[in-house]
Amino acid sequence: MTPARRTPIFTWAMIIVWLVFASVPLWIEKVGLYHYLGVEILIFALYALAYNLVLGHAGLPSFGHGAFFGVGAYAFGLAQFNIAANLWICLAAAIGAAAIAGALVALFISHRRGIYYALMTIAFGQIFWFIAVKVHSVTGGEDGLLKIERLPVDLGLAAFDLTTNVALYYFVLAVFIVVSFLLWRIVHSPFGRVVKAIKQNETRARFVGYDVWRFKAAILVISAALSGLAGGLFSMAQASAFPDVMSLHYSGYVVMMTLVGGGLVSFWGPVIGAVAFFLARDIIGSVTTGWMLWFGLSFVVLVLFKPEGIAGIYQSLMQRRAKASAPAVAPNAQGR
């Protein structure tokens, strides 16, 4: 028996990601971009990290995650209008509503995987989207839920105003740090190990004695809840909530981000993917209106030749270099 490897609580990659993001407002305008882009990237990085819990860590291809993101966005707005205009209550509502939606979906699909899982999540995504478009009195239909306010952060002793994009950015960053740390712990907890085992071989995991259904349901609920949190933050950033984030296209975008960044092999892959996605949108988009065409084409090429994504390319480059310099050292790239 070899003793189980202990996962470090903090890693260099984690601290570097946090520090880089913390420095963004200092230079983003100097390179010709804008603060709001940073907010968008950070929110979608959070969303993609939460999504990757399902795709990368559990191996369950969900193509309907936009539903949870959207439910979170609407719940944030509705809580603000109907319950209380308090940031913490609204964020809790976003998380709670998305978790309930996730639990509902999990009830129907947790005994599935592979193609069937993908198709059922598409169907559920379409159901939520359809309802959001049609229940005009609650969601505002196609026009969306407007006039959502950026609520101040009330910490009891002090309160911060989030109306500027920089202030909002730092608040989202704080949430991002907490959530990414939590996710890191979840993935490397005994629970996370079981989920990983289920991904590798579901039948074997069942025979070892794990209640596979429960683990799969739980991972979807956690992922949905955190996607809802991202959705709530996004509705605050946009000052509104629209049904199109729930469409199959937006559900697909998060899949694309996660895969392009390297979510299948790396914990931080989805973050890289979110950055790549928005930079591609703004940079290719400034040259041609059909930026999605080019992003989609590169996605297709990546799936065909390097489904491990950007993080995978980096890892194999590092491996090649390590092999060239010191053949005896086997770099442990997994989990970084």
Give the interface with another protein as residue ranges (CB under 8 A): 59, 61, 63, 108, 113-116, 118-120, 122-123, 126-127, 130-131, 134, 248-249, 252, 255-256, 259, 289-290, 292-293, 296-297, 299-300, 303-304, 307
C-alpha 188/C-alpha 133 separation (Å) is 39
Distance CA 251, CA 293 (A): 17
Please state, in angstroms and rounded to a whole number, the distance separating the CA atoms of residues 273 and 291.
16
Tokens of 285: 């988009």
Residue 298 CB, shortest distance to another protein, in Å, is 9
CB-nearer residue toward another protein: 35 or 112: 112
Residues paired with residue 160 on neighbouring β-strands, in sequence order: 153
Looking at the Cβ atoms of 84 and 300, the one nearer to another protein is: 300
Q: Which residue matches tokens 């995978």?
A: 312
Q: How far is the CB of 252 from another protein (least distance, A)?
A: 6
**Closest listed residue to residue 150, CA positions, set 39, 245, 227:** 39
* Alpha-carbon distances, residue 265 vs 28, 248, 259, 313 (angstroms): 29, 25, 9, 10
Residue closer to another protein, measured from CB, 91 or 132: 132
For residue 76, which of 62, 56, 59, 96 has the smallest C-alpha distance? 96
Rounded CA gap, 315 and 321, in Å?
Answer: 10
Nearer to another protein, 118 or 148 (CB): 118
Torsion angle of the four alpha carbons 26, 30, 34, 39, in this order, in degrees rounded to the nearest 10: -30
Residue 134 or 206: the one with the smaller Cβ distance to another protein is 134
Shortest approach of another protein to residue 132 CB, angstroms? 12
Which one, 123 or 177, has the nearer CB to another protein? 123
> Measured from the CB of residue 92, what is the shortest distance to another protein in angstroms?
29
For the bound state, the minimum distance from the C-beta of residue 335 to another protein, rounded and expressed in Å, comes to 20
- Rounded Cα distance between 306 and 283, Å, is 23
> Which secondary-structure segment (H or E) carries 252?
helix 248-261
- Least distance in angstroms from the C-beta of 291 to another protein: 9
Minimum distance from residue 295 beta carbon to another protein (Å): 8
When the beta carbons of 134 and 320 are compared against another protein, the nearer one is 134
